[in-house]
Structure 1
Amino acid sequence: MSQADKARRFKALHIPGNPLVLYNIWDAGSAKTVASAGAQALATGSWSVAAAQGYGDGQAIPLDFALQIIARITESTELPVSVDFEGGYATDPTELATNVTRVIAAGAIGINFEDQIVGGQGLHPIADQVQRIKAIRQAAEQSSIPLFINARTDLFLKTQTNQAALVAEALARQTAYAQAGADGFFIPGLGDEALITEICQASSLPVNVMMLGSLTSLPIAARLGAARASFGPGPYRVAQDDLKARAANLF
């Protein structure tokens, strides 16, 4: 299957009420393990990829190194691979487009792209984020790959109280991101079932939820209307806790 075909297959797996399950990986070994368990697609988690190499999250791992890891993952599997690309390692749309072209060249068929200011405060204004998404879409078109742009809003991660007041802005961002060329809308940090349902029903894009906190099962995510369920740093943390416990029994 060609890279373009994998991208189209990946997009088709996003079905509201029957979410694509992405048990996030961090290297080629974890990719092969999750693939062997029956996964339909794979996705990295930026926190996990960084932690596995001794870095913190937030684009601390050098881009060149991250791209080497991505390439090794995509070479190790026939499944579609989406990459958590954080803020794209750039603010300027032109630089961002260059970086995304490199991610595509490494074999990725999708990215998570967040709207928080990495290393700064708050979120990018909607108008600025729209220009960044447009640059990504143009870069993908020039590469002839229908890259799945999973537009992430960090509104709910930044604010854990009175999240209902953020729904209107979240939906405004969803609309703008969709018009700019996004394929999915990611709402990590939101666990309130009623609010998730409201966003899923109003969104023109398939909605991605993160399986943390109150989102304790995939049937819940399906019932709420999610089209994608990912696990973020959870799988890496579970693996490391198991490793630590086993090692502790030896010393």
Structure 2
Amino acid sequence: MRAHRRHPQAGRALLHHARTDAYFVPWEDPAARFAEAQRRARLYVAAGADGVFVPGMSSLDEIAALAGALDKPLNVYAGYAGAPSAGVLAHAGARRISLGCGPLQSALGLVGRIAAQAFGHGRFDTMGEGMLSVGEINGLFSATP
């Protein structure tokens, strides 16, 4: 097994994860899409990637098949996999799970619902759901945990 490369200034290990967006391109044949993602993933591993990221993959069967075809970790985006639990994704073969822009999309969805209620119905009850206090927000930016 190859040792991980080190960042020249920080002295920390670097992991190189290659990404293929084959699942973001419209395909008439899902089997051909999977085959292309697998082909790309294998090329990345052969070129030295420490792992492969395939966002857009939603089938647990496909995740399992691709993970089984690679000798490097498979990273999937939880939002496209139908949001199963981490355990279910791990059982299928995912070794890394990304949230990507999902939290931002969720936050913007909440902002949209708040605005719709406030401006459309004169209601503000949605705004309090899960709201952080000023102290909690400041704590997010604190230098100490």
TM-score tier, shorter chain, comes to 0.5 to 0.7
AA of the residue aligned to 1:165: A
Mark the CA change 1:180 to 1:188 in structure 2 (over 3 Å): closer, same or farther. same
Partner residue in 2 for 1:195: 62
Mark the CA change 1:235 to 1:141 in structure 2 (over 3 Å): closer, same or farther. closer
Q: CA deviation at 1:167?
A: 3.1
Q: Distance in 1 between matches of 2:16 and 2:99?
A: 18
Partner residue in 2 for 1:235: 103
Partner residue in 2 for 1:212: 79
Q: How many residues align?
A: 115
SS at match of 1:164: helix
Q: CA RMSD in A?
A: 2.6
SS at match of 1:159: coil
SS at match of 2:24: helix
Q: CA deviation at 1:227?
A: 0.6
Identity of matched residues, %: 33
Higher relative contact order (CA 8 A, sep 6+): 1
Match of 1:245 among 113, 122, 142: 113
Mark the CA change 1:242 to 1:153 in structure 2 (over 3 Å): closer, same or farther. same
Note the residue ranges of structure 2 that are not aligned, 5 or more in a row. 120-145
Match of 2:52 among 181, 185, 189: 185
The answer to whether structure 1 residue 171 and structure 2 residue 38 are counterparts is yes
The alignment's TM-score, normalised by the length of structure 2, stands at 0.65
Note the residue ranges of structure 1 that are not aligned, 5 or more in a row. 1-10, 12-136
AA of the residue aligned to 2:40: R
The alignment's TM-score, normalised by the length of structure 1, stands at 0.40
If you compute each CA radius of gyration, which structure gives the higher value, 1 or 2? Answer: 2
Q: Distance in 1 between matches of 2:56 and 2:40?
A: 16
Q: CA deviation at 1:201?
A: 0.7
Residues 109-137 of structure 1: per-residue CA shift (max 9 Å, x gap): xxxxxxxxxxxxxxxxxxxxxxxxxxxx7
Residues 162-195 of structure 1: per-residue CA shift (max 9 Å, x gap): 2222333333322322232311101111212222
Q: CA deviation at 1:204?
A: 1.2
Partner residue in 2 for 1:55: none
